Amino acid sequence: MFVAHFDVDAFYASVEIRDDPSLRGKPLAVAGSSRRAVVLTASYEARPYGVRSAVPLYRAREACPHLVVVPPRMATYKAVSREIFEIFGVRGFPVEGLSLDEAFIALGDVTFDDACEIARAIRAEIFAATRLTVSAGVARGKMVAKIASDSCKPDGLLGIAAGDEAAFLAPLPVGRLWGVGPKTQAKLEGVGVATIGDLAALDDAALRALFGSWSAHVRDLARGVDTRPVEPERETKSISSEETFEYDVRDESALVALLREQAKEIAEALAREDLSARTVGVKITRANFSTLGRQTRLVEPTRDARRIFRAAVHCLRRAQLNGAAVRLLGLRVASLVPGAPQQAGLFDQM
């Protein structure tokens, strides 16, 4: 059973460059205009300056004085995302969406060559429909497929044949392994474990000393064994905004700043559809791909960006991340009702 991981290259920035070719080749950031705005996506030309997702905009401008900044057009990005996901789903394979521009697809019990050809065809169809490039990885498991797609960016396709997973992973830095954050990586390097191959070669006693009850799972991942299935998400009656960070984020102030931008976007979407929401929640995916959510129910429905933002921050702090690395942050409103709110809404914890 092969899995493919697809990731649109610098999605928001690529859409802006597609729609305004004069931006091509320039260091570009997509960000809001407020004092606390953060970079949502940066073009590849901006990244050598340290400009990347979740970096505060003022720091990005300091690092790259000639940075071109354009405001986000979330309605456009979502429309493009719908086009892309329609292509993902046209063959009937299970699709697990990770964000607007990223997904796993279960390709079924096909040969390795056929799996790579399917991934190649999907990439070509997306480019023909949207003029956007997509990087893809193909492997027997989700983790290896994801690492493969990251390794061939931008505009690449990398397939890892069955049986080659351990050899592919072995020379990579141990920090590339799911669940190994900077602190764990430093700890491992301190005992001479610098690569995934070094980790895979540890004996049982050494692994247990480092990872405890998680040691068997870590060894499987280091050897490329990952049996987690692709899990399609069910449709929900809600409006949401998610951002997958290029680099994991630990700074709560950066997460709060992103929630502020997402709250504005969702408030605008509610107004466009003449809806108000009574439930506000956050979705947090950690560096090890574990996901948690927190939500709160408002006393009265709202479409006010400030109230949505305050409720979202309340949910974020209830998650008690304590500096944990975050790879994705999402804001969602649900329990939608038609019309504008009749009065201001406070919120109650659920």
Q: Which residues are catalytic?
A: 102
Question: What is the rounded radius of gyration, in angstroms, for the C-alpha atoms of the chain?
Answer: 21
- The string over 84-104, giving b where at least 16 C-beta atoms fall within 10 Å of a residue's C-beta and e elsewhere, is beebbeeeebbbbbbbbbbbb
**Helix orientation angle between 74-89 and 11-19, rounded to the nearest 10 degrees:** 110
Nearest CA to 307 among 345, 261, 269, 265? Answer: 345
Strand order in the sheet with 134-139: 95-99, 102-108, 2-8, 134-139, 157-159
Contact 347, 301 (CB under 8 A): no
Q: H-type helices in the chain, by residue range?
A: 11-19, 57-63, 74-89, 112-130, 142-151, 165-169, 182-190, 196-200, 204-211, 215-222, 252-272, 305-318
Contact 232, 95 (CB under 8 A): yes
